[in-house]
Chain A
Amino acid sequence: MKISIYRIVCLFVLVSPIKVSSQVPEELDSYLEHIFQNHVIPGFSVVVVKNDRIIYKRAFGKERLDKNKPFHTTTVSAIGSLTKSITAIAVMQLVEKGILSLDEPVVKYLPEFRTANKIMSDKVTVRMLLNNTAGLNADPPATMERSSIALAHLNTSLNKTFLTQEPGISYKYSNTDFSIAGLVINRVTGLSFEDYVSKNIYAPLKMTNSILGVDGHKKQNLLRGHYFGRQPLPANNAPFAISGEYVPAGSLAYATIEDLAHYLIALLNNGKFRERKILTKESVEQLFTPNISFPGLSKNDGGDGQIYRYGLGWMISNIDGREVIHHGGSTGTMSSFTMLDRKNKTATSLLFNLDLTFIDTHKYIPHYSIANNLLHIVNGEKPSSYGIPIRTDPIQNNFGLSSKERGRYLGEYRYSQGGLPWMNFGTSIKVFSNASKMLMAKVFRANDAVGEFKVDLVTPRVAVTRNIAAPEEIRFYNSPQGNINAIQWQGKLYEKRKEVDKLNLFAHDLKDSTTIYLPKNWKFEETEYGFKAHNDTIKSTIIGLLHENKNPLKSTFLEKYQIKSKGLTSLESISVMSWKKQSFEIQNKRLLTFFESVEASNKMLVLFNSQASQHTKILSDVVDTIIDGLSFPSIPLAD
């Protein structure tokens, strides 16, 4: 009898409709409308699920501030580090199949995995990769390669890094950890990471618009997001194309909010979505079981001072008295936030076209607060103030400068060192004075504005940035005579650049209306494939291959000149484009350098130099000048 009643109860639970108050969508609407109206987010999409149903989905605003296309629930947006949870699921699937073991050393699956101190990297297990305790660098070095080739390249480049702390004892957020996990998947399955995920996760979850890898991105009209300015600045050429190592396992997956809803349903239902099961209950539990902890959001910043814990690709926290599972994603121009309340079987995910990870929380509500409140609302609770800083912004300065003093700050400061070179190369800060005689700064990548802020001086040498992002300290350095010659910001050094004497440049127009600017002492001639420039003084030649048949010409060059040795491929940012640079030694001690455009594949410059030592930089500067004059097809943007 007891059994019958139990069965009936179970049956009732399984077949009964989800009890969600009809007011909930309205409350969610009302809350999100309020957020949208009082925020700087240009556009975002949101989904809320309960049990195995989507109970709310909606998008707000526009995809780009400079276009009129609205943000849809079908807009493909970057999920950033939420990709890590996908990588973790992929690993757990292989654990279930007995192909992988979480606590086996990574070298068992990737024998070539080693840091310079092998004794330490040999201790790194698969679990440590997924719980961010391996101790590998947060970000991998850049590569031109993508997908699994990129991952293989990453593994090679790890050989020169050192693990400085015992693996497994301390949390250290690392994209590299997950990239290596992606390579492990590739190695044990024989499939590329993208193929594996597409087949084993995206397909069963019907995540039809989700993609991985830059090649996939190119096929889509992807969002580019917005940079931080005094208002959001629409981004054009986001440098994702060179972040090969992030592809695919670290942070570069794209998805729609509808796809993410399927993902959330699977996570809330022990790995099951509709009739397909991607993971066992035990494996899902493993994902959400804490492995390591670290300090959470402080009370001053609106948290409760409690620790956060990390499972496998997921964070686990006690927020407002209940346990939630969460993870954010950040790409610099877009962001995502996902939160699960397993007790109430509710979950939410949000995709933003602005990186809310670094938003000024004194002015704007952060994404984790929004997600937290959505779950409160859907569970019939009142929104909380979690994430809203309790301390006021302590920095309100407006240090006054005389006009003479202000003049010392003005000018262009070019990125010199610090941070991730491949993320920052080609960036510069232009400091200028606005009409109100306030010091302002614009951050550029080549000619693209990728940031703007007011320079709020605290002292003559220390300031904070003022825009929609959280204020950051910026420091000015001066020469012995008091002239400002460098800026330190976000751990990077920008040095003031000498003014280029543009009067010495001469414009040469090509048939296809491209203009080449060269110093006056260079002889110029247009050729069948582009142009040729020669300088007698330094006995150097530049050949521009600017047409579609560039690649055969490159092969011809390499075949014609016997290559004795070649250098590393480096990434250069000149003008608005990224370039691959590689130098070769050819016969008679002559040097040949190729500059090959990353985005515009038909553009290539070939440098010949018989006395390269003295003139390497001169040639580079000339190339810089030429490229400033070149026109490039703009990459199509979503409209």
Chain B
Amino acid sequence: MKIKSLYLVNKQRFKSTITPYVLQTLAILLATFVLSLALSLLWVADKPFDTTFEKLKASHLLLLFDIEKHSEDELTQWFSNQKEVEFVGNSQPYTIITEPFLFKKNKLDVDIQITERTEKDISYDQLILFKGVKKNEPEIGEIWLPYHYEHNHGIALGDVLGIPANGGIYEVKVTAFVIDPHYLSNIFNPTRAWVAPGQLSFFLTTKDLKNRSIGIRLKQSEHLNTIYKRFIGVFDYSGIGLKFELFKSAYASFSKLLSLILLFLGVVILLITLLLIGTNIKTQMLSEIKQIGILKSLGFSKWNIIASYLFQSVVLLLAAVPIGLLLSNICLKLLMGSTLSQLGITNLSFNGSLIYATTAILISILVIIVSLVVSWKAGKMKPMIALRLPNIQSSNPIKKFRIAIEKGFPLTSWVSVHFIRTSFLASLVLAGSMLTTLFIILFSTTMYTSFDQLKENKSSWGFEESDFMLYRKSSVVLPLSHPELMEILKGHKKTAIEQIIPYHHISLNILNNESEKESVFGKVYSLDINNTGLKNLKGKHPVTKNEIALCIGTAKNLDKRVGDSVQVEIEGVKKTLMISGVYQDISAFGQGFRIQQQVVSSFNPLFEPSSYAIRAKTGIEPKKFQQQLLSELGETISIEEEITERASIMGLVSGLKTGFISISLLFIIPCLVLVSNDIVLQTKKNELVLSKLKTIGFTSLQLRAVIVQRVVILFSIALVIGLPICFLVVPFIANILATGIGIASFPLVISSYNVAIAICVLLLTIFPIGWFSSRKLQKIDPRKLVEV
């Protein structure tokens, strides 16, 4: 067979009905685009960091210490003598300002490590001047801020920041925004700002000038852990050691998360695309069955027929894949471009050809395999059978219509069901696609609802069920003891307080073995934890003075389970406790413990809780009640918002909710493409039947209803089958995704209202698209019957 024949066959196909091909091309394009973008992003996520870090010759280890505890000379000397070390930086004075800065008379609530820029060798630990006049270091009275402060806090060059210090405000002028290789990510808190050499003495007392930072650059970053372990073995080091990996993971974590989400999305789109192509070829085959018979009788071999479909797929691939890759490349450049230009990277060593080639080959192979498998049947078809086959399609529907009409069954519905039956595979694919979309939407909706309902479902997240937090202050002239405060609070139990949960945060050392101690921050409860509403993933709450419950992350770190014992150091005394339960707590990112007060009291009779989670009775306005308590108890207490109402948590939750809505919307689009494509194909495939129906009196409106009803019926089937499956699978996936934030059993909240809304939105989107796509039915011409 000549290539020309293949070309002519396919030309005729494309000419007769271009829409399905356009849709398939778009689907392949989308899959290529998303997959290659995801893989590229995953590949390059930490490249800017690595490149910048190398380019600026940044230190792999930053030591932050107090010179009254450690000698800077000793530390410098020790590191200089290590063969793995390339360079030991200068000792740079720094201070961390935790009080709010003043900026344009407003509170700028950020923590900043202000460091003097005093590098002895300017070829190491360099900075990139993102904005501002280039010079080696700031002048006295100036400050260089991280570049993201410009965008995040609306600070501009020339603005004045007031640093709170020494009972006054020391004003500094912002003269540059810099790229700091260690603090590239804006998630660092505190981040680092730079001032002139000697500047700290302008607003700190000499006593406060004791903090130093020393950078250590290694010849190879792989040696970092070895050398740090050696260092800890030699020095009783009580300072902080910030390692290369920390800076890198902080920078790349967000990009990697985005890449993984895109990758997941890309795989789903690819699957849908393959289904779409398969269905399309199948539909095409059925509609061209006569033509296949003719071609075969003309001498086309099995492989010629298969090749005609493969040729078609290759053409689609050729049309879509390069554009997809090109778009991906453009998008990657757009995404990374601003970052790279900010970082001053002009020659990022990213060779996308491998990723693009992999993506293209993967998608091409899969498309070809699907085309091959689906068209195999057509290839094998005997010419005579093929010529007869069209009769199979017309299984005397008219007769059945009459029966249906006689039975009072809606005729359009019956026809819709008939179309589902006659194009079972295509219907299956469409139902599957809608099921996938439904799954994503229900997943997003459920996650959205779960975060939205965090306040109503606190105990499952590890928070006490409370409306606000009350803290007992001991630094006043007439402080209240714990029993005294409890007595007063209990006085409100009849009228306003539903529950009081007294607890105290303490840190204790958990001994992993004789030499390793891990300091863990946890909670000591002064009432039976069973009454707090808090939950365990496994086991039970600690009750006796020999029991402890561990947060899931801590249990994993220690490789401990319920029933195991763990040795802890409480108030300097070693004690073995049995693990009674394992729980989850998002506020501690999976780390922590819960014990009863008696564990601590047995060592420290002075122990008293100072935090009280208060839940007001139904109908009590928490804000008003807080004011009442403040008025009654004065300075002996302070009151704070309950944790889920604090800006940081609310911001996080709001961001996650927006993310889930975006994901839902992103997934609806391919589904709609699929629906539209399917309707066009079905219209084409059933043109003969539809023409017949028109001849017996179906209006164009009814014909469109038939086609759209088919989609709706399939959607309903997907819903009936998919809904239970979704709710079985969603928790499983949610648990996997939430592991990173310390949640092993994601506290899913399924809101029937939200689910109904989501389903309605999907249906209401599909319906008009279906209706729009079926508009060609208005042009169905019964005269075609004559032609056929």
> How far apart are B571's CB and chain A's nearest CB, in angstroms?
4
Check if A240 is an interface residue, CB within 8 A of chain B.
no
Residues of A within 8 A of B164 (CB): 160
Q: Chain A interface: which of B193-201, B375-383, B739-747?
A: B193-201
B634 touches A292 (CB 8 A): yes
A613 and B238 contact, Cβ closer than 8 Å, known pairs A458-B605, A473-B606: no
Check if B118 is an interface residue, CB within 8 A of chain A.
yes
Docked CA distance A491–B71 (Å): 28
B606 touches A173 (CB 8 A): no
Residues from 417 to 467 in A contacting B, C-beta threshold 8 Å: 421-422, 425, 458-462, 464
A583 and B201 contact, Cβ closer than 8 Å, known pairs A160-B164, A294-B635: yes
A298 and B484 contact, Cβ closer than 8 Å, known pairs A160-B164, A460-B571: yes
A585 and B141 contact, Cβ closer than 8 Å, known pairs A458-B606, A483-B236: yes
Which of A143, A169, A617 is close to B631, meaning CB atoms less than 8 Å apart? A169
A425 and B484 contact, Cβ closer than 8 Å, known pairs A142-B167, A169-B627, A611-B197: no
Residues from 159 to 211 in B contacting A, C-beta threshold 8 Å: 162, 164-170, 196-207, 209-210
Q: Chain A interface: which of B62-70, B447-455, B777-785?
A: B62-70
Residues from 576 to 635 in A contacting B, C-beta threshold 8 Å: 581, 583, 585, 589, 591, 593, 609, 611-614, 616-617, 620, 623-624
Which of B170, B207, B238, B477 is close to A425, meaning CB atoms less than 8 Å apart? B207
Residues of B within 8 A of A480 (CB): 232, 236-238, 517
B100 touches A162 (CB 8 A): yes
A570 touches B238 (CB 8 A): no
Q: Mark B269-299, 1 if CB is under 8 A from A, else 0.
A: 0000000000000000000000000000000
Closest to A156 in B: B168
> How far apart are B142's CB and chain A's nearest CB, in angstroms?
10
Residues of B within 8 A of A162 (CB): 100, 107
A422 touches B167 (CB 8 A): yes
Docked CA distance A261–B334 (Å): 82
Check if B481 is an interface residue, CB within 8 A of chain A.
yes
Docked CA distance A469–B685 (Å): 97
Q: Chain B interface: which of A60-68, A97-105, A561-569?
A: A561-569
A159 touches B630 (CB 8 A): no
Closest to A571 in B: B205
Residues of A within 8 A of B107 (CB): 116-117, 162
Q: Mark A477-494, 1 if CB is under 8 A from B, else 0.
A: 011110101000011000
Which of B141, B480, B606 is close to A565, meaning CB atoms less than 8 Å apart? B141
Residues of A within 8 A of B206 (CB): 572, 581, 616-617, 620, 623-624
A169 touches B200 (CB 8 A): no
Check if B633 is an interface residue, CB within 8 A of chain A.
yes
> How far apart are B33's CB and chain A's nearest CB, in angstroms?
49
Check if B488 is an interface residue, CB within 8 A of chain A.
yes
Residues of A within 8 A of B573 (CB): 459-460
Which of B90, B209, B635 is close to A171, meaning CB atoms less than 8 Å apart? B635
Check if A495 is an interface residue, CB within 8 A of chain B.
yes
Check if A295 is an interface residue, CB within 8 A of chain B.
yes
Residues of B within 8 A of A281 (CB): none
A581 and B630 contact, Cβ closer than 8 Å, known pairs A394-B605, A459-B571: no
Residues of A within 8 A of B570 (CB): 459
Residues of B within 8 A of A458 (CB): 571, 603-606
- Tally of B interface residues using CB under 8 Å: 72
Docked CA distance A425–B208 (Å): 10
Docked CA distance A462–B573 (Å): 11
Closest to B118 in A: A613
Residues of B within 8 A of A483 (CB): 236
A485 touches B201 (CB 8 A): no
B66 touches A614 (CB 8 A): no
Best-surrounded residue of B140, B210, B232, B477 (most CB of chain A within 10 A): B140
A141 and B603 contact, Cβ closer than 8 Å, known pairs A295-B634, A581-B206: no
Residues of A within 8 A of B631 (CB): 169-170, 292-293
Residues from 256 to 307 in A contacting B, C-beta threshold 8 Å: 292-298, 300
Residues from 133 to 172 in A contacting B, C-beta threshold 8 Å: 138, 140-143, 157, 159-160, 162, 165-166, 169-172
Docked CA distance A479–B529 (Å): 32
B606 touches A395 (CB 8 A): yes
Docked CA distance A516–B604 (Å): 48
Best-surrounded residue of B91, B570, B573, B630 (most CB of chain A within 10 A): B630
Docked CA distance A327–B237 (Å): 50
Closest to A299 in B: B484
Q: Mark B113-124, 1 if CB is under 8 A from A, else 0.
A: 000101000000
Which of B116, B202, B478 is close to A583, meaning CB atoms less than 8 Å apart? B202
Check if B636 is an interface residue, CB within 8 A of chain A.
yes
Check if B93 is an interface residue, CB within 8 A of chain A.
yes
Docked CA distance A491–B473 (Å): 11
B93 touches A613 (CB 8 A): yes
Docked CA distance A612–B92 (Å): 11
Docked CA distance A612–B636 (Å): 46
Best-surrounded residue of B202, B481, B488 (most CB of chain A within 10 A): B202
Which of A159, A160, A295, A481 is close to B478, meaning CB atoms less than 8 Å apart? A295
A357 touches B606 (CB 8 A): no
A612 touches B198 (CB 8 A): yes
Docked CA distance A609–B68 (Å): 22
Check if A496 is an interface residue, CB within 8 A of chain B.
yes
A464 touches B606 (CB 8 A): yes
A297 and B635 contact, Cβ closer than 8 Å, known pairs A485-B238, A589-B140, A612-B197: no
Which of A159, A462, A473, A623 is close to B169, meaning CB atoms less than 8 Å apart? A159
Closest to A615 in B: B198
A141 touches B635 (CB 8 A): no
Residues of B within 8 A of A583 (CB): 198, 201-202
Residues of A within 8 A of B207 (CB): 414-415, 425, 572
Closest to B66 in A: A495
Docked CA distance A394–B92 (Å): 49
Q: Mark B501-533, 1 if CB is under 8 A from A, else 0.
A: 000000000000000010000000000000000
A617 and B605 contact, Cβ closer than 8 Å, known pairs A480-B238, A498-B71, A567-B201: no
Residues of A within 8 A of B170 (CB): 567-568
Residues from 586 to 633 in B contacting A, C-beta threshold 8 Å: 603-606, 627, 630-633
Residues of B within 8 A of A464 (CB): 606
A459 touches B202 (CB 8 A): no
Docked CA distance A181–B203 (Å): 29
Residues of B within 8 A of A617 (CB): 67, 93, 206, 209-210
Which of B69, B91, B572 is close to A614, meaning CB atoms less than 8 Å apart? B91
A564 touches B140 (CB 8 A): yes
Docked CA distance A429–B169 (Å): 30
Check if B476 is an interface residue, CB within 8 A of chain A.
yes
Residues of B within 8 A of A172 (CB): 634-635
Q: Mark B64-104, 1 if CB is under 8 A from A, else 0.
A: 00111101000000000000000000111100000110100
Residues of A within 8 A of B478 (CB): 294-298, 308
A570 touches B166 (CB 8 A): yes
Residues of B within 8 A of A159 (CB): 102, 169
B238 touches A614 (CB 8 A): no
Docked CA distance A394–B482 (Å): 14
Check if B557 is an interface residue, CB within 8 A of chain A.
no
Residues of B within 8 A of A138 (CB): 635
Docked CA distance A497–B238 (Å): 13
> How far apart are B607's CB and chain A's nearest CB, in angstroms?
8
Residues of B within 8 A of A414 (CB): 68, 207
Check if B475 is an interface residue, CB within 8 A of chain A.
yes
Best-surrounded residue of B105, B116, B478, B633 (most CB of chain A within 10 A): B478
A567 touches B202 (CB 8 A): yes
> How far apart are A137's CB and chain B's nearest CB, in angstroms?
11
List 6 other contacts, CB 8 Å, given A160-B102, A294-B633, A297-B478. A395-B606, A421-B166, A460-B572, A460-B573, A461-B571, A612-B197
Supply 11 A–B pairs (Cβ within 8 Å), ascending by A.
A292-B634, A293-B631, A295-B634, A458-B606, A459-B571, A459-B603, A570-B166, A571-B205, A583-B202, A617-B209, A620-B209
